[in-house]
């Protein structure tokens, strides 16, 4: 069973329906004990970094998430679920993250009238290193993005894919049991469903 963490932010039902559509058993929960018992953990979300950290803390979920990751349990972060893994965000003032990965969450900053902030819509990913989350997914595949901030890792070896939007930014990371993407697989049609199925396989069969 995979626990989809509900902390009041994000389109959780779309994520849940995506997993169910590809035959992966999931439960939506905000209970720390469910996270501890689950075989895998998914943290989706949209909105502000600081609000996300506050709600996770209020629900006493931060320790459960960190412990799940440290225990080797497969973790999939989506959008904010990627960003909160990092040390801090500059969104609305500095806010500390879970510090699983060293680095910052920074805002798009470019001089062009051709690109709007937030990035909202389809864009391609460039695969930097093969990993099981992208099994069967071609390089330059399109995924759906909605964000104004992106992660800037200190360690380039965790970068799984990059995407160009005024700047080349990290659009997904992978290290060990931790997978996280900036885009929304639940809104990305067949290739998004393939990614969710791949994560289900990682949980059920191992890396």
As annotated, the active-site residues are: 79, 184, 186
Whole-angstrom distance, CA of residue 96 vs CA of residue 2: 27
Q: Could you give phi then psi for residue 148, rounded to 5 degrees?
A: -110, -15
Query: In this structure, what token pair is assigned to residue 50?
Result: 């600081």
Cβ contact 35:61 at 8 Å? yes
Q: Most distant CA pair in the chain: distance in Å? A: 49
Task: Classify burial at 191, counting beta carbons within 10 Å of its beta carbon; exposed 0-12, middle 13-18, buried 19 or more.
Answer: middle
Contacts of 124 (CB under 8 A, 6+ apart): 140, 141, 142, 143, 163, 164
Whole-angstrom distance, CA of residue 143 vs CA of residue 122: 5
């Amino acid at each position: 069973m995979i626990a989809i963490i509900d902390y009041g932010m994000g389109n959780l039902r779309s994520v849940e329906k995506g997993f169910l559509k590809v035959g992966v058993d999931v439960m939506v929960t905000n209970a720390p004990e469910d996270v501890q018992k689950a075989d895998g953990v998914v943290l989706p979300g949209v909105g502000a970094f600081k609000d996300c950290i506050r709600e996770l803390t209020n629900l006493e979920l931060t320790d459960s998430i960190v412990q799940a990751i440290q225990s080797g349990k497969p973790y999939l972060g989506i959008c904010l679920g990627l960003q909160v893994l990092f040390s801090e965000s500059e969104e609305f003032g500095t806010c500390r993250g879970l510090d699983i990965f060293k680095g910052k969450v920074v805002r798009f900053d470019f001089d062009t009238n051709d690109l709007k902030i937030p990035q909202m819509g389809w864009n391609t990913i460039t695969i930097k290193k093969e990993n099981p989350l992208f099994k069967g997914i071609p390089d330059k595949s399109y995924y759906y993005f909605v964000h104004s901030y992106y992660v800037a890792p200190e360690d380039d070896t965790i970068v799984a894919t990059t995407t160009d939007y005024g700047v080349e930014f990290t659009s997904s990371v992978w290290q060990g049991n931790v997978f996280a993407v900036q885009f929304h697989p639940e809104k990305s049609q067949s290739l998004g469903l393939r990614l969710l199925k791949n994560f289900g396989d990682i949980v059920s069969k191992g890396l």
